[in-house]
Amino acid sequence: MKGRLLAIVLVLVLFAAFMMPRPSKRASAAQRARGEAMSAALREEVLTRQAIAALPPKPGAVRGVVMDWNLGDGVATLVAIDDGTVSLYMGEGGGVIGAGGKAAVSRAASRFLAEADRVRDGFGVATSGAIPGKDSVTFYVLTDTATLVAPSIDAGTNGGSAALGPLNEAAQALIAEIRKAS
| Span between the terminal Cα atoms of the chain, in Å | 35
Single-letter residue type at 172: Q
pLDDT (0 to 100) of residue 12: 27
Task: Please count the structural domains in the chain.
Answer: 1
Judged on CB neighbours under 10 Å (0-12, 13-18, 19+), 150 is buried
In terms of pLDDT, which residue wins out, 54 or 33?
Answer: 54
| Average pLDDT in the chain | 82
Cβ–Cβ < 8 Å for 139, 126: no
**Parent domain of 52:** 2-181
Q: What proportion of the chain, given as a percentage, has pLDDT over 90? A: 55
Q: How far apart are CA 117 and CA 123, in angstroms?
A: 10
Average pLDDT over residues 80-102: 88
Helix (H) or strand (E) holding 125: strand 124-125
Average pLDDT over residues 121-149: 94
Cβ–Cβ < 8 Å for 135, 59: no
Radius of gyration of the chain (CA): 20
pTM of the prediction? 0.81
